[in-house]
């Protein structure tokens, strides 16, 4: 069932797109941070497009170079003009056809995921969506590059935070940071008390997820360091109940951390919000209500079943 199309092809395509964005910036003398932004997108194009064939150390240095450009504010987004009246007229002409491509993507991605891998299927879905969009709008192929590039520039550095965070998580794991933290929690809190153990475990899941941006990274650390020794071994709690609700508590942390860039910062940029914390603020009451529920259910059930 391998059509010869792999994820690598989509990485190359993405790299080419990013390189095109970089050249577009280089040719734009009005860009507020012309050369810094050009280098940023060009470097990212190389790392994404050819990352697999480059030595890891080189990729690491390139990532640090991008980080330096961001830290010194050499990457910026130009002002884009919007023409509302023109869009209104086009919308009236196209009618509901303008919605089709948006629906083509998930339909193909979902159907395709039963045949090829889900990421490849999504890639195919996006290309089919693009083809449909070009057909419906009768626009030139340069238009989606330009409009997509505009959106890509809006995203800026948030696009590489998740991968960088994966690196931080990996280094934390190799350095044994989690074990150290779990030891401190166990030594400072009276975790042998059943309720304290539940709160420390669920609370630790939140705090660790907030720090690392990823509940998956927090789960093994808190479970091995606090959950298993104190909830299961010391107090006879049920491991399945603890694990399920522990993971769901971690997600409450994901809702409130800017480290989870894909979920909390990317939409801020995509929706052109001024407040970087806007999405997190909208989600904070969700996180609190869901976390408390998890703790209550865990305490009520984990020692009983």
Partner 1 sequence: MIKLIGILLVAVGFGFRVNALVVVLAAGLATGLAAGFSLREVVAMMGRFFVENRGLVLPIVLMLPVVGLLEKHGLQERIATLMRRARAATAGRIYWLYQALRGGLSVLGISLGSHAGMVRPLIVPMGEAAAKARGELSEATRERVRAHGAASENVGNFFSDDILVAVGALLLVKSVFDNAGVPVTLEQIKLWSVPTALWVLVIGWWRYRALDRWLAKRKDGDK
Give the residue, chosen from 12, 26, 76, 228, that forms a contact with partner 1 under the rule CB under 8 A.
228
Give the three-state DSSP class for 47: helix
Residue entry with tokens 């810094």: 36
Residue span binding partner 1 (CB under 8 A) among the ranges 29-37, 185-193, 196-204, 291-299: 291-299
- Write the CB contacts of 108 (distance below 8 Å, at least 6 apart in sequence): 121, 124, 125, 128, 129
Give the residue, chosen from 40, 251, 299, 303, that forms a contact with partner 1 under the rule CB under 8 A.
251
According to the binding rule CB under 8 A, does residue 235 interact with partner 1?
no
Give the three-state DSSP class for 297: helix
Q: What's the rounded Cα separation, in Å, for the pair 239 and 259? A: 29
Residue 55: exposure state from Cβ atoms within 10 A (0-12, 13-18, ≥19): exposed
According to the binding rule CB under 8 A, does residue 115 interact with partner 1?
no
According to the binding rule CB under 8 A, does residue 262 interact with partner 1?
yes
Which DSSP symbol is given to 232? I
According to the binding rule CB under 8 A, does residue 76 interact with partner 1?
no
Footprint of partner 1 on 203-222 (CB under 8 A): 211, 215-216, 219-220
The site that binds partner 1 (CB under 8 A) totals a number of residues, namely 140
Binding mask 159-198 for partner 1 (x = CB under 8 A): xxxxxxxxxxxxxx-xxxx--xx-----------------
Binding mask 10-49 for partner 1 (x = CB under 8 A): xx-xx--xx----------------------------xx-
Give the chain's largest Cα–Cα span.
69
Q: What's the rounded Cα separation, in Å, for the pair 169 and 206? A: 15
Q: How far is the CB of 183 from partner 1 (least distance, A)?
A: 10
- Helices 177-188 & 194-212 angle (0-180, nearest 10): 150
Token pair of 28 as six digits: 């734009």
Q: How far is the CB of 198 from partner 1 (least distance, A)?
A: 14
Q: How far is the CB of 124 from partner 1 (least distance, A)?
A: 10
Give the residue, chosen from 12, 62, 186, 199, that forms a contact with partner 1 under the rule CB under 8 A.
62
Binding mask 116-135 for partner 1 (x = CB under 8 A): --xx--xx--xx-xx--xx-
147: enclosing H helix or E strand: helix 142-155
- Helices 278-301 & 239-255 angle (0-180, nearest 10): 170
Judged by beta carbon, residue 1 or residue 274, the one nearer partner 1 is 274
């Amino acid at each position: 069932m391998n059509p010869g199309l792999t994820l690598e092809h989509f990485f190359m395509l993405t790299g080419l797109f990013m390189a095109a964005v970089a050249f577009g910036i280089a040719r734009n003398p009005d860009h507020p941070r012309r050369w810094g932004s050009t280098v940023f997108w060009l470097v990212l194009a190389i790392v994404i497009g050819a990352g697999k064939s480059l030595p890891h150390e080189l990729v690491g240095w390139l990532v640090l170079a991008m980080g330096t450009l961001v830290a010194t504010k050499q990457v910026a987004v130009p002002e884009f003009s919007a023409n509302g009246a023109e869009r209104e007229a086009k919308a009236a002409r196209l009618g509901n056809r303008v919605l089709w491509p948006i629906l083509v993507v998930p339909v193909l991605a979902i159907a395709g995921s039963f045949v090829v891998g889900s990421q490849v299927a999504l890639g195919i879905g996006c290309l089919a969506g693009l083809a449909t969009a070009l057909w419906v709008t009768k626009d030139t192929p340069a238009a989606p590059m330009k409009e997509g590039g505009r959106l890509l520039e809006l995203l800026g550095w948030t696009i590489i935070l998740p991968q960088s965070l994966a690196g931080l998580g990996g280094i934390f794991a190799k350095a044994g940071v989690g074990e150290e933290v779990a030891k401190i929690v166990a030594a400072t809190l009276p975790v042998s008390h059943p309720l304290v153990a539940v709160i420390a475990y669920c609370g630790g899941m939140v705090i660790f997820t907030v720090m690392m941006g990823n509940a998956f990274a927090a789960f093994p650390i808190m479970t091995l360091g606090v959950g298993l020794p104190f909830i299961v071994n010391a107090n006879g709690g049920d491991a399945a109940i603890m694990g399920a609700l522990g993971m769901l508590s971690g997600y409450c942390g994901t809702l409130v951390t800017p480290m989870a860039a894909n979920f909390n910062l990317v939409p801020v940029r995509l929706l052109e919000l001024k407040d970087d914390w806007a999405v997190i603020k909208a989600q904070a009451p969700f996180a609190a209500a869901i976390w408390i529920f998890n703790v209550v259910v865990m305490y009520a059930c984990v020692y009983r079943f």
